[in-house]
Structure formats: C-alpha cells, structure tokens
Structure 1
Amino acid sequence: MAQSTVGNADEDKEKHPWPHIEIDATAAGGAANETYKKLSRSAFAKCHALWNKTGRSTMAHETMERECKLQLLRPNQTRWSSLFLSVERIVRIHREQGEQATRNVCTALKIKMFNPAEMGFLVEYAAVMKPVAMALNILQGESSVHVGLLLPTLYQLRDKLKRLESSCKMCTPLVHALQRGIQKRFGDIMKDPELIAAAILLPRFRTSWTTEEYILNAGLDYIRNPLDTDLGDVTSTNSNQSDEDDFFASMESGKSQVGELERYLSCLSTAGMDLLHTFPHIKKLSLKVNTGLPASAACERLFSHAGLLFTAKRSQLHGRNPESQLLLKLNSHITE
C-alpha cells in the first residue's frame, strides 16, 4: 500500500507536514493534553528526520536494511493512512529487531535516538489508530459495498476506542478527539432507522452488532412496515380467485411473512448472503436498502496509479509495458 520509500518533494520539508497531529493534541485540555503535545512533537520530529534520511540517501537506505532487515514506509499526501502505516513499521522494527538495531541506525544516520517515553507514545499511537485504519479500509472497500456495513463498523469502532480509553496513558487526548469526531460526524446517522434496518438485513450482522435495544427496535419497526405493505399487495393481486379463496388468502400469506422476520433473526445458519434466498421477502427488502450508490473511487484510484507510472522518462515505452506495470501495481497484494 505504501511500500515505496520515494516521497514527494513536499514531504521533504523540514517543517512538520502533518498538522492534524497538533489538532488532535489540542482537542483536550489539562496536563494530559500537554503531555500528549510534547511527546507528539518530539516523537514525530525524530520520525520525520528518519524518514527524510532514508528517503534521500542510498547509503542510509542500505544501513536501515542491514540493521533492521526491513525498510521504512514514508508518509505521503495522497493516502490518509500512510502516516499510521509508517509509524506502525517503526514500532514493528523496534519490537522485532530490538532497541539496539534502532540505536545503530540512529547513530549511523546522526539522528537523535527515541527515548522510552517517545517509543511508548508511538506504540500507543499505532494501537489507537489501528482500529480507525481498519474501519476506514472496510468502508472504502470495493468487494463488499453494502450500506449495512456502515453502522456495525461505526459501533464497533466506538466500542474499541472506549476500551482503549482505559488502557492508554499518553494518547488519551487522541482517543477523546476521535470519539468526538465520530459523534459529530455520524451522531445522527447512527440512529437512522433505514441504516439500522440495512445492518439487520445483512445475515452477517443481524442484531449482534449492538446491545442498544432502542436502536434495534427502530430498525425492526422499519423492516416490519414494508412486510405489512407486501401483505396488502399480495391480497390485492389475488382478485381473480374465488371469493372463498380470496377471503381467506391473507391468513397463510400473513402468517408466513410475519414469521419470516423472526425465523431470519433466529436462524443459526452461517451461509452468508446465500441465507437470504431462504427468506424471499427479507431478501427483497435487503436488496432495496443495501444497494449502495455508484462511486468513482475505483476509477480515480486507477488514474492515480497510472499518473505515477506514466512519467516523462517512460514516454518512449510501448503501450503494453506501462499497462503491464499498472496491472502489477494494482494487483501487488496478490503476490505479497
């Protein structure tokens, strides 16, 4: 995702290029905020120096690979999660190769070594941002694009941040800032009956994604209304039957539809989306509320990768060569 060590020219500025770190730091007051701000500035300044050195110098690049057996990932301006991935790589190197390997690199590159408090801060930062990164990767995915993914993802993210709140020592202001951001941006959406119903109508989640009864009841009420409407439609379409058959037709159809929701919720099958084939009315409603709007994100991602590959120095290549390179780049996750 961010495997290259080559950065943009803007990233090579000595000025801190990620102002959102400071925004997070000032989101909460008191001594905890001051501690976060101090550690954030010092830790990210050393990270920034390390990223610059290894990106500009071939010798520094080789020193890093020799001492740490891994290369650093560098943040860029086009992928929001690149900062998290870069910090996570530093934490991984420190954990797997030990403090001495990191110290050797810092000494060779003439960079100040991370002190224990700064490294502890980076560990906590990576731990706090990991569920955020995972949640956004789910929501921007291309294979599973159901609307019903939104609320379970947000509720699980909120719960994970709440658990982290009690275990964090230095990144508590960051956790609070993320919690406030989620509430400000998605507070009203998280109570939308249609979105709640969309989550319930995904067999993977049903009613297991939250323990808040009033939330689930709002979604279940939203689901029952279309089922009642379908019942009326079925009755009206049977007008060509005899009076006796037409008069009593709603008994069986109504019974089957009312029980269909309960049977769907209580079903123990793990067939995934195939489970919906067993419940035709539930399936119809699930398709209605879970069909997402088309987006151009996949096309824009393709154009972005193509722009990085089709440079001036490659203008004389045959068209098949850049096309093959683009194909390999976009499918690199298969070979990793």
Structure 2
Amino acid sequence: MEGAIPKIIKFGFKNYVLDVGEKKRTAICKACNSKIRDTSTTTSNFIRHHKEKYEVYIHTKGTFDDTQPQISQFIAQGTVQLYHCNHQQQKAITNSILSDLIINCNMPFGEATDLSQGEKLVTISAVVPCILSLNHHLENHKESVRYLGGLICSLQESLQRLFEGIFVNVRMADEQNDVATLPFSDPLYLIAAVLDPSFGTMWLTHDVLTTENVKEAVSAMIKNLILKEDCKPTPTTTDEDEQMPVAESESQSGLFTAYRKKQKRDSCSSPQIQLNQYLDICDGQSCLQFWAMNRHMLPSLFRVAVRVMSVPASSAPVERVFSHGGVIMRHHRSQLSEKVLSN
C-alpha cells in the first residue's frame, strides 16, 4: 500500500519493493540510482544513505554560505514570481532545510525508533540513556542549524515535558512538590541504566548537562538506590540457601581447597564493594553476557539486575506477539490447540 511507504523512502527513493516473506524492503536512490536494502521494520539504511548524499551536497555546493537568500525573499510581496521550484537558490534553501531536518534533527530519533520498535528486545535500561542522549543532541544543534532552530527548541521542550520525571531525577529540571506523579519518575529507570554494563555511568558523564558537583550527587543517589534495592527480599532465595554453598565448601578438602574458599569469600563481599567493583569493570559489554559471566562474583548486584532488566523498554514486543498470534489463529483454524500453538 502507498500509505505504508515510509516518508524517507517516498522523498528520496523510487521503485520501492516490500518483501513480506523475507521481511526486507528495497528501493533505488533518486540521486545516484544505488539500490538500498533494509529490514521491513527499520529505515536506518535509507536514512544513512540519504545523510551521506546531503553531506556531499553541503561540501560541494556550499549550502550554508552566508550569501544565500533567506526564506523571506521567496514569500515577500512582489518577489514571488521571481522564484520557482527549479530556481537554483531556492533549491539550495530547500536542501538546507532538508539537511537540517533529516541529518541534524531526525537522525537520532530514527535510531531510537528502530531501537525501541524493531525486532530486537530492549530492556528498561535503555530509556534514560536514550532520552538524555536525544536531549543532548538537540542542545548541540540549537545554534548550528540554519532554518529549523524553532523546531529543535520545540522538540526539546516536548521531550523534557513528556519525560519530566527523568530530568527532575538527574537534577536537570526544577524539582516538583510531588515527584512521584511525574511521568517516568520511577527510580527503577536510573537503577537499570547503571546496572546495564553497555551504559554504566557513561550516560551520566556525557549526557547529564549539569555541573560536576551535581553529577556526583546524582551518582551517589543512584548508588544508594541500588543498595536499598538489594536489601529487598526475593522469593527465590533465602539466607539458608545463600549460606549452604559456604558450608559445603568448608567440608571439602584437597590440594586447591584453600583457593576455592578464598574465591567464595570474595563473592560474598558486601554489596557496596560489589558495586564499586562492577563500576570498575563495566565497559560497554553485552548485558546478558556480562551478568552470565559475573553472576557468582557479584551475586548481590546480579539479583537486582535480574529484577530490573526483566522490564521491557516498550510494549512493541508484546504487541508483536499478539499480532503474530492473530495471523496464526485464523477462524478457519478452529481446531488449533494451545499445545500446538505454543510449539
């Protein structure tokens, strides 16, 4: 259907083909006739190709030359007839606006959409880094764009209003009387972001646009939240279960028994020590792989991470399951049992 074609493909590409079976989409660039492929749920390859073409245009044509006419020249009375769609200067302004819109403004938003709505499952840990990174991106481009400064300011205001609780918690907005009622004010978002080794505290250093003293205060607050979360009881573990491996290891004897006891004592260090050790070793690793490898070395933090990482970042995966179920459970398959469906 024509209405289902993404806007970026409508604008800069032709001969659009959607392969539902292979979950692929292809189109040909209008500028260079290159054939671009992407999955059926993302448009990042098309946006990236478009970005490269406009970067070449800006470099060769001087789109941001100060001698170029302003938009007001095209809408002022008495001059409308002097310009038309094929006028060279009007083309320069049009391409400059599109460059601001596609490259400087919307590119990170497209990546965030692909991240949260694509096939990959994303946990709640990506929410805070994603929102603060988008805000930082808009803040950096307020002065650099030529025509769309107002649009970028409006986008930033909307972002800060919709996710006000996050900005208040990281001290980038004034604290309200009742923070708990603000959207996304749950401290779980901050805890999950820090306990994801692919983010750690890097987002706090780079994207929290405050002074160093405020960043240190926010970091200390998040650490306290993690330690408090560790104190909460879990239904799957008890004190007896945690002490059982220690007693078993003490009853063993052998050539390297002392080494194993030392390792066990290290893994039972206090949550504060485990948290400091985690912050020293996390460096952009995969979340699942990291906690699978360090679950015994950081048992207290592992229990907290399991609880917070089980929350999805968006409802897209659940909605996709229901959509797939609707495709399979047709009315003419009335004899399809739950057991067959689950397989």
* Residue of structure 2 equivalent to 1:112: 86
Q: In the alignment, what sits opposite 1:69?
A: 33
Q: 286, 301, 304: which one pairs with 1:272?
A: 286
Which of 143, 149, 155 is matched with 1:172 structurally? 149
Percent identity between matched residues is 17
Q: 2:299, 2:226 → 1: CA distance?
A: 14
Q: Render the CA deviation track for 1:234-273: whole Å, top value 9, x for unaligned.
A: 389869x99xxxxxxxx99974333111111112566433
Q: Cα 1:285–1:116, aligned 2, differ >3 Å: closer, same or farther? A: same
Q: Give the deviation of 1:157 after TM superposition.
A: 1.2
Question: Equivalents in 1 of 2:290, 2:48: separation in Å?
Answer: 38
- Cα deviation, residue 176, structure 1: 0.5
* Deviation for aligned residue 1:155: 1.0
Q: Which amino acid aligns with 1:112?
A: N
Unaligned runs of 5+ in 1: 1-5, 12-17, 19-43, 56-63, 100-109, 243-250, 307-336
Q: Deviations over 1:81-134 (max 9, x none)?
A: 87x9988766655665888xxxxxxxxxx9635521121111111121111111
Q: Is the 8 A contact 1:70 1:93 kept in 2?
A: no
Q: CA deviation at 1:171?
A: 1.2
Partner SS state of residue 197, structure 1: helix
Q: In the alignment, does 2:206 pair up with 1:201?
A: no
1:149-168 matched pairs, under 5 angstroms: 149-168=126-145
Q: What SS does structure 2 have at the residue aligned with 1:167?
A: coil
Higher strand share goes to which structure?
Answer: 2
| Cα 1:122–1:88 shift into 2, 3 Å | farther
User: 1:209 corresponds to which letter in structure 2?
Assistant: W
Once residues 268 and 12 of structure 2 are traced to their aligned partners in structure 1, the CA distance between those partners, rounded to angstroms, is 66
Q: SS state of the match for residue 210, structure 1? A: helix
Does residue 225 of structure 2 align to residue 225 of structure 1? no
Question: Is 1:288 matched with 2:282?
Answer: no
The alpha carbon displacement at 1:154 in A equals: 0.8
How many residue pairs get aligned? The number is: 233
CA 1:176/1:259 → structure 2, altered by over 3 Å: closer, same or farther? same
Rate the CA distance shift 1:268–1:288 in 2: closer, same or farther, 3 A.
closer
Shift of the 147–266 alpha-carbon distance from structure 1 to 2, 3 Å rule, reads same
Aligned ranges 1:9-28 → 2 under 5 Å: none
> Contact 2:200 / 2:283 at 8 angstroms: preserved in 1?
no
Q: CA deviation at 1:53?
A: 10
How far apart, in 1, do the equivalents of 2:96 and 2:30 lie?
24
* 3-state SS of 2:270 partner: helix
Q: Closer, same or farther in 2 for the Cα pair 1:282/1:164, shift >3 Å?
A: same
Q: 1:59 corresponds to which residue?
A: none
CA-CA distance at 1:280 after TM superposition: 1.8
- Give the C-alpha shift of residue 229 in structure 1: 4.4
Residue matched to 1:126: 102
Contact 2:267–2:299, Cα closer than 8 Å, also in 1: no
One-letter code aligned to 1:227: D
Structure 2 gap ranges (5+) = 17-27, 62-83, 170-185, 206-214, 248-264, 328-343
Residues 13 and 30, structure 2, Cα contact 8 Å, conserved in 1: no
Assess if the C-alpha contact under 8 Å between 2:125 and 2:192 holds in 1.
Answer: yes
SS in 1 for 2:311: coil
Letter of the 1:136 counterpart: T
Q: Which residue of 2 is the match for residue 7 of structure 1?
A: 2
Deviation of 1:218 after TM superposition, in Å, equals 2.8
Corresponding residue for residue 112 of structure 2: 135
TM-score normalised over the length of structure 2: 0.53
Aligned match of 1:297 = 319
Report the alpha carbon displacement of residue 283 of structure 1 after superposing the two structures with TM.
1.4
Distance change >3 Å, CA 7–CA 153, structure 1 → 2: same
Give the deviation of 1:159 after TM superposition.
0.9
Partners of 1:204 and 1:173 in 2: CA distance: 34
What residue identity is the alignment partner of 1:184? R
SS of aligned partner of 2:2: coil
Asked if structure 2 preserves the Cα contact closer than 8 Å seen for 1:196 and 1:215, the reply is no
1:22 paired residue number: none
- Are the structure 2 counterparts of residues 133 and 257 from structure 1 closer, same or farther at C-alpha, using a change threshold of 3 Å? same
Aligned partners of 1:142, 1:72: CA distance in 2, in Å?
Answer: 20
Q: Return the structure number with greater helix share.
A: 1
Closer/same/farther in 2, CA of residues 268 and 203 from structure 1, 3 Å limit? closer
In structure 2, which of residues 218, 231, 239 is the aligned counterpart of residue 234 of structure 1?
Answer: 239
Taking only aligned residues, the RMSD between alpha carbons, in angstroms, comes to 4.8
Report the secondary structure of 1:206's partner residue: coil
In structure 2, give the amino acid aligned to 1:286: A
Stretch deviating more after TM superposition (185-194 or 151-160): 185-194
In the superposition, relative to structure 1, how do residues 96 and 149 fare at CA in structure 2: closer, same or farther (>3 Å)? same
The aligned amino acid for 1:207 is T
Alpha-carbon contact 1:72-1:90 (below 8 Å) kept: no
